[in-house]
Structure 1
């Protein structure tokens, strides 16, 4: 059975259809990219899978279990990690404390925070930071980090859920080209070694075609194509969806 099964997800806002009968699956260790023009419905679909939005109809299954109506916190504890287009960290806390807060949430210890939490799960937090190359910055305030390093900390926070599934919304947004490649190389390595399925949205076609094992193309809330990066590059409907401007696809060929 596939790790993630999305079945006929649909969502409308008033008279505007943001997602229509979207269906696909994701396997362990797979890097699946979701691309499409602005307004295609990528964020809506991502938020339905992550639990931030409830679908009008359809279902989401993780390892065969329905999580369609689970909250984001419940999904986190069930093994769904997530990063956001704009990195979300507690700037008033240091790097290790940010990861410790995620671990406290995973262990469902939020109600016990009347007790001192500074040392809670610190060793595990340091191990996760080491995994993303940020252990040396453990005691630095997040507010002092370069943006690329913040993205790495956010990845460590997502990994705190011991994810089966990792959702990454525009993971390289705001990063320099070298930082983009390094972050996605790291993600691909983690996905392969821990058998984590990764679903990511991305506008940078170099990132998509350099790291995705499979690509889905969304247009007006519907999947119009799916396949390997090479198949997507050559797909005439995909080129048309990008308003005939296929230089971004061609330059990575």
Structure 2
């Protein structure tokens, strides 16, 4: 069943067309990767779906509802969660406090707090941290955590809004190879169990081909290929888009079944 439908998105900056007639869907529980060389338009498309950019033309539908012109905050409350290339957490706060702040925000309780925020939603925050394997670090400041663990906390923050759709911008950037696999395995299991659609951008082809059910390839703002990892790996136009680096499109060891 279609969760996200992107129809004919287009965006220009001056005379440069950054996205041209981009169309795709994401189903419930599906992980869809968007890849392409630098300057292909990945960030532009991603930010139009997330609400950071407004398209010049086209529509974004979530569960059949038009969210094209909704702010990122309204999209969050409609069920769009997001993680960032550089983890967005309050480093001076504990892991639990970071998740508690997200829970307070999504419940619109940030105004008029008469009781200390640390007393609100503590149990739920710890439950979310347990879901991402970070319950034992609940009271540790994020500044004292390894970067891979901070990325897990950020995932718990995104899950605080009970998202239908999860947007992940370069989710494994800055992580060691083992941490990358573990984070994406975790994301895939949560998405499958909860029926969350996942749209992610990524440069690491092991991550893409090991976890995406489908892959979109952008070049100069338009989609040049879409299909399963195997179909994309064999696509000659995709190989040319990556400057003939066929090694980047080889199947990684331990690839998850699509």
In which range does the TM-score fall when normalised by the shorter chain? over 0.9
- Local SS of the residue matching 1:69: coil
**2:9–2:58: 8 Å Cα contact kept in structure 1?**
yes
- Is 1:62 aligned to 2:62, yes or no? yes
1:145-160 to 2 correspondence within 5 Å? 145-160=145-160
In structure 1, the partner of 2:178 is: 178
Alpha-carbon distance in 1 for matches of 2:134, 2:202? 24
Partner of 1:85: 85
Match of 1:20 in 2: 20
Give the TM-score normalised by structure 1.
0.98
Cα offsets for 1:207-234 (capped at 9, x unmatched): 1101010000011110110000000000
Offset from partner CA, 1:170-209 (integer Å, 9 cap, x none): 0000000000000000000001100000001110000110
State whether residues 215 and 232 of structure 2, in contact with CA within 8 Å, keep that contact through their aligned partners in structure 1.
yes
Contact 2:96–2:125 (Cα < 8 Å) also in 1:
yes
The answer to whether the 8 Å contact 2:79/2:165 transfers is yes
CA deviation vs aligned residue, 1:124-156 (integer Å, no higher than 9, x gap)? 111000000011001111111110000000000
Q: Give the corresponding residue for 2:118.
A: 118
Match of 1:214 in 2: 214
State whether structure 2 residue 231 is matched by structure 1 residue 225.
no
Contact kept, 8 Å, 2:209 with 2:251, in 1: the verdict is no
Query: Which residue of structure 2 aligns with residue 100 of structure 1?
Result: 100
Q: 2:240 corresponds to which residue?
A: 240
Runs of 4+ with deviation above 6 angstroms: none
Provide the residue aligned with 2:256 in structure 1: none
Instruction: Please report how far the alpha carbon of residue 109 of structure 1 lies from its aligned counterpart in structure 2 after TM superposition.
Output: 1.1
Greater alpha carbon shift after TM alignment, 228-237 vs 114-123: 114-123
**For structure 1, which segment, 99-108 or 110-119, has the greater mean C-alpha deviation from structure 2 after superposition?**
110-119
Note if contact 2:81-2:159 (Cα within 8 Å) is conserved in structure 1: yes
Q: TM-score, normalised by structure 2?
A: 0.96
Contact 2:80/2:163 (<8 A) preserved:
yes
Kindly provide the CA deviation profile for residues 75-102 of structure 1, in whole angstroms up to 9, marking residues without a partner as x: 1111101000010001121110100111
SS in 2 for 1:216: strand
| Partner in structure 1 of residue 202 of structure 2 | 202
Secondary structure at 1:58 match in 2: strand
Partner of 1:164: 164
Gaps of 5+ in 1: none
How many residues of Structure 1 are paired with residues of Structure 2 in the alignment?
Answer: 253
1:118-137 alignment, distance < 5 Å: 118-137=118-137
Unaligned runs of 5+ in 2: 254-258
> 1:243: how far off?
1.1
RMSD (CA atoms) = 1.1
